[in-house]
Amino acid sequence: MRTALVYHEEMTAARLLWEDPECEIERPERLTAALERLQQGGLEQRCLQLAAREASEAELGLVHSPEYVSLLRGTQALGTEELRALSGQYDAVYFHPNTFHCARLAVGAALQLVDAVLTGAAHNGLALVRPPGHHSQRAAANGFCVFNNVAIAAKHAQQKHGLQRILIVDWDVHHGQGIQYIFEDDPSVLYFSWHRYEHGCFWPYLQESDADAVGLGQGRGFTVNLPWNQVGMGNADYMAAFLHVLLPVAFEFDPELVLVSAGFDSAVGDPEGQMQATPECFAHLTQLLQVLAGGRVCAVLEGGYHLESLSQSVCMVVKALLGDPAPPLSGSMVPRHSALESIQSVRAAQAPHWTSLQQQGPARLLNPSTCSPEGRRPSVSPGGPGFKAAEAQGSAVPRSLLDQLHLYPTPPARTAAALTAQDAALVLPPDVLRPEGSAPQEETRAWARLHEALAQDTAFIALGKVLHLLNGILDGQVSSGIATTPAAAATLEVAIRHGLSHRAQRVLCVAVGQLDRPPDLASDGRNLWLNIRGKEAAALSMFHVSVPLPGTTGGFLSCILALVLPLAYGFQPDLVLVALGPAHGLQDPQAALLAALLRGPAGGRVLVLVEQRKTQREREHKRGVGEGEAGSRRAGSPMRGWIPGLRDHDLGRRQTPNRLSHPGAQHCDFWGPVSRRFFSRADKFLSSAALTEQSSSEKATSQPGQGLEHPRPERGA
C-alpha cells in the first residue's frame, strides 16, 4: 500500500478578480508551486496519484445548510460586481465564477483521500486543494474558506465507513473555528488546533479560540485549543506542543483515523503566521501522527502563503508519509517561555478530561501568562532578509557528518533484521531485508576481545551480524535494523564504540531492563545513556539518566513522550541504539512504539538489539503470558512487533485499528498506576531543561536541590 496524492488542476481556476490586500495571498500559484516541487523531488511519482472529483450536494449537506449550498451554486452565474458585493458579506472571502466548482473539487479530494485510506487502497495521503476549508461554517464562508473540506471528510468517514473516533489535527496557524463549531458538542471527533492568538489580538479575534474553550456538553474535552500568544514559535515549540499536549490526549482518545488540517502558514516565512518552524518540522509532526490510528493519516491542505516555504513543507509531509527518514531539526530544542505558558494553560484546561494530563506538567512552575515582549524573536517576512536569515541560521547549525555525507537520501531498504540461528526461522514481513553478511572475521574478533561473553559461539556470530548491520545503517544502505544476541550488554557496548568510531558524532542508547552503562565509556558528551529500569528517576551525570521501568511507574507513554523524546531531540544523535535486555518488561507494541518514535531524532538510524531468549520453553512461557492482550499478537513471529518503523499495513489490516502500534487507551493499565513521585521528579528534570533560557527569577521557582537538576545535554559537548 502506498501514499495517495489527490489533486485536480481545475482547483487553480478560481482567483481574486479585484483589489483586496487581505485576500490576494490566496492564489492559484499556491497549488502549482507545491505540485511542481513534488515533481522535482521525485515525490509525486512515488505516490498513488488520484484525480479529484467534485463532491455531491448531498455530501456538502453533511455539514452545510441547503440554503448556503444553493447560494454558492448561484455564484457561478454572477458578474464580477455581484461577486464582489456577495464576498463583502463575509469576513476575508472572495468569490469567482469558478469558486463553486473548485470548492466542490476540494471537498471531493478530501473524500477520495479518506475513501482510499479507509478501503485500504492507500495507507495515508495528502490532498492538495483550494479553496481551503477550516474556517467555513454551516452557512457561512470565512477566511478564504467556502466548504469545510476536513469537517465533511470526518462526517463522511463516520457515515460511510462507520468510524467512531476521528482525530482532527489543525496545524494551520489560524484557528479553524469552523471545524470547532461543527464538532463542539460531539465526543466522536477530537479537534486539536494551535493558532496565532496573541491574547485575542489576532484574526479571527475570537474568545473561543483560547485554551479554556474545551467543547460543550457531551463534547467537553474534545476541543483542544493551543493559543500561541507570541509570534516566532519554532521547531522546539511545535514539538513540545505535540509531545506534551496533542499526543498524550490523542493516545488516550485512540482515534481510528487522523485528519490533518494541513496549513503551512505556521511555517517560517509565511506573512500570516510570522512563525519560525522550518519545513523539516512538518516531517517530524507527520511522523509523530503516524503512530496513531494504525498510520491512517489523511492530510488536507489549508493555508500557506509563502510559496517557497509552502512547497518545501508540503514535500516534507509527503516524504514522511512515504516513510522516508526525517531530516534533523535545526535550532535549539528548548521551547520558549511563552510557548510553555500556552502549553501549560491548555494542559490545565484539559486535565479534568484526560487522565494523561493529570500528572502535573513541567510548565506548572511558570507564572500566569502576561504579554511580555522579552524573548520575542525578530519576525520574518516572505522572501525578505528575515526569511533568508532564518534559513541561513538553519544551515549554520553544523550538520552531523553522516548527514553531510548522505544528504538525506532514502536508504534502499527501510529495515533489516539479523537474527541468530535460534530465531532464523521467524517469518518476517516482506519488506524487511535479511542480510546474509557478517562483518569480516578480523573486525569481529577485534571487537570480541572487549568482553568474554562475546567469545562464545552464538554471541560471536551474532556480533558479526550486528556489526554488518550497523555498517549498513551508518553507510545509508538500510535505515534501521534489529538483531538478536545472547549477550546484549556486551554487544551494545561494541555497537556504541563502533558507532562512535565510524561516522556517528553522537550515539543515544536507550537501554531497557538490566543493562549497566559500560563503566569506562567516555563522558565526552558523545554518548547519552538512558536506562529505563531503575527504581528511582536519577540523573547520574549529564549523559547518564535512569528512569523507572514502565511497569513500576505506569505511564510507559508518558515516559516516552515527556522524557525520552525530549531528551533524544535535544541530544540530536546520529544513531540510536535500543537494547532490550534481561527483564526489559516491554510488550511488543510498546517496544515497537519506542523504536518507531526514536527514528525521529536520529534520521531514521535506529538499531534494536534484543537479548535472545534462552530456551524454547522459556520462549513459550513468555508468549503465553502476553496472550491475554487481545489483538496485540498474531500467529507467527514474536519479533514482528519490534521491527522499528514497521507499520501495521505491512502486516495486513486488523479489525481493531491501532492495537498493535500501541496498547490502546481502553486498556485500563495503559497509563498505569501513576506514581506521582516519579512524575514530579521527571517534571522537575524536564522543567529545568526547558527553563535554561528563562530568567533567574523563573528558575528560582523550579526548586533547585530537589529531585533532578541538571541542564539538558546540548549539541556537541
Residues that bind Zn ion (CB under 5 A): 172, 174, 263, 265, 303
For residues 713 and 571, is the Cβ–Cβ distance under 8 A? yes
Q: Give the C-alpha separation, 671 to 586, whole Å.
A: 14
CB nearer ligand Q9C, residue 263 or residue 566:
263
| Closer to ligand Q9C by Cβ: residue 279 or 303 | 303
135 is catalytic: yes
174 counts as binding ligand Q9C under rule CB under 6 A: yes
Task: Exactly one of 8, 135, 468, 649 is catalytic; name it.
Answer: 135
289 contacts: CB under 8 Å, gap ≥ 6? 169, 258, 260, 297
Residue 571's binding partner out of Zn ion, ligand Q9C, none, with CB under 5 to 8 Å set by partner kind: none
Cell of 445: 574478533
- Measured CA to CA, the distance from residue 608 to residue 304 in angstroms comes to 38
Which of Zn ion, ligand Q9C, none interacts with 248 (beta carbon under 5 to 8 A by kind)? none
Least distance to ligand Q9C, CB of residue 142, Å: 8
Residues numbered 229-268 forming contacts with ligand Q9C, rule: CB under 6 A: 263, 265
Selected from 108, 125, 143, 325, the binder of ligand Q9C by CB under 6 A is: 143
How far is residue 119's CA from residue 649's CA, in Å, rounded to a whole number?
12
When the beta carbons of 203 and 569 are compared against ligand Q9C, the nearer one is 203
**Can residue 394 be called a binding residue for ligand Q9C (CB under 6 A)?**
no
And the C-alpha cell for 35? Answer: 505540485
Name the binder of 588 from Zn ion, ligand Q9C, none, CB < 5-8 A by kind. Answer: none
Nearer to ligand Q9C, 246 or 262 (CB): 262
Residue recorded with cell 535500543? 578
Give the residue with the Cβ less far from ligand Q9C, 165 or 174.
174
Choosing among ligand Q9C, Zn ion, none, which partner's interface includes residue 659 (Cβ < 5 to 8 Å by kind)?
none
- Binds 387: which of ligand Q9C, Zn ion, none (CB < 5-8 Å by kind): none
Shortest Å, Cβ 195 to ligand Q9C: 10
Q: Which of 68, 90, 100, 144: binder of ligand Q9C (CB under 6 A)?
A: 144
- Cα angle, residue 296 at apex, residues 291 and 299 outer, rounded to 5°: 105
CB of 203 to ligand Q9C, least distance (A): 4
* Crossing angle of the two packed helices 488-501 and 441-448, in degrees rounded to 10: 120
Q: Which set of grid coordinates corresponds to residue 423?
A: 530465531
Pattern 122-141, ligand Q9C, x by CB under 6 A: ----------x--x------
Alpha-carbon distance of 118 to 297, in angstroms, equals 10
- The 58-97 site mask, x for binding ligand Q9C (CB under 6 A), equals ----------------------------------x-----
* CB 314 within 8 Å of CB 264: yes
269 binds ligand Q9C (CB under 6 A): no
Given ligand Q9C, Zn ion, none, residue 466, with its beta carbon under 5 to 8 Å by kind, binds none
Residue number, 231 or 532, with CB nearest to ligand Q9C: 231
Distances (CA, A) of 146 to 130, 132, 135, 406, 665: 9, 7, 8, 44, 36
Number of other CB atoms surrounding residue 73 within 10 Å: 13
With 0-12 CB in 10 A as exposed, 13-18 as middle and 19+ as buried, what is 71? Answer: middle
Nearer to ligand Q9C, 92 or 334 (CB): 92
- The residue whose grid cell reads 474568545 is 207
Residue 476 is placed in which grid cell? 545509508
Q: For 339-355, what is the HEC assignment?
A: HHHHHHHHHHHHHHHCH
Kindly report each contact of residues 401-404 with a partner whose C-beta sits within 8 Å and lies 24 or more positions away, as own/partner.
401/503, 401/504, 401/505, 401/574, 402/474, 402/476, 402/503, 402/504, 402/505, 402/574, 402/603, 402/605, 403/327, 403/328, 403/574, 403/603
Window of 119-127, 143-151, 422-430, 438-446 that interacts with ligand Q9C by CB under 6 A: 143-151
Of 646, 567, 558, the C-alpha closest to 608 is 646
CB of 196 to Zn ion, least distance (A): 9
Looking at the DSSP assignment, which residues form a beta bridge with residue 442?
none
In SS3 terms, 388-402 reads as HHHHHHHHHCCCCHH
566 binds, among Zn ion, ligand Q9C, none (CB under 5 to 8 A by kind): none
Helices 307-322/279-289 angle, 10° precision = 30
Interaction between residue 279 and ligand Q9C (CB under 6 A): no
For residue 476, which of 568, 572, 575 has the smallest C-alpha distance? 575
Pick 272 or 423: Cβ nearer ligand Q9C: 272
Q: How far is the CB of 302 from Zn ion (least distance, A)?
A: 6
* Contact map string, positions 285 to 314, toward ligand Q9C, x by CB under 6 A: -----------------xx-----------
Instruction: Return the sign of the alpha-carbon dihedral for residues 660, 661, 664, 669.
Output: positive
Q: Which of Zn ion, ligand Q9C, none is residue 143 near (CB under 5 to 8 Å by kind)?
A: ligand Q9C
Would you say 3 or 278 has its CB closer to Zn ion? 278
Q: Give me the least distance between CB of 149 and Zn ion, in Å please.
A: 13
Is the Cα torsion angle 250, 253, 257, 263 positive or negative in sign? negative
Site string for ligand Q9C, 19-48 (x = CB under 6 A): ---x--------------------------
Residue 266 or 359: which CB sits closer to ligand Q9C?
266
Question: Least separation, in Å, of the C-beta of 575 and ligand Q9C?
Answer: 39
The smaller minimum CB distance to Zn ion, of residues 11 and 592, is found at 11
Question: Choosing among Zn ion, ligand Q9C, none, which partner's interface includes residue 196 (Cβ < 5 to 8 Å by kind)?
Answer: none
Provide, rounded to whole angstroms, the least separation between the CB of residue 271 and ligand Q9C. 8
Q: Which of ligand Q9C, Zn ion, none has residue 237 at its interface (CB below 5 to 8 Å by kind)?
A: none
Task: Tell me if 270 contacts ligand Q9C by CB under 6 A.
Answer: no
Among 172, 186, 280, 391, binds ligand Q9C (CB under 6 A): 172
- In angstroms and rounded to an integer, the radius of gyration of the C-alpha atoms of the chain is 25
Q: Quick one: cell of 498? A: 563502533
Query: Which of ligand Q9C, Zn ion, none binds 203 (CB below 5-8 Å, type-dependent)?
Result: ligand Q9C
CA 513 – CA 527 distance, rounded (Å): 19
Q: Cα 563 vs. chain centroid, distance in angstroms? A: 16
Size of the site for ligand Q9C (CB under 6 A): 15
Catalytic annotation, residues? 135
**Interface residue list for ligand Q9C (CB under 6 A):** 22, 92, 132, 135, 143-145, 172, 174, 203, 263, 265, 272, 302-303
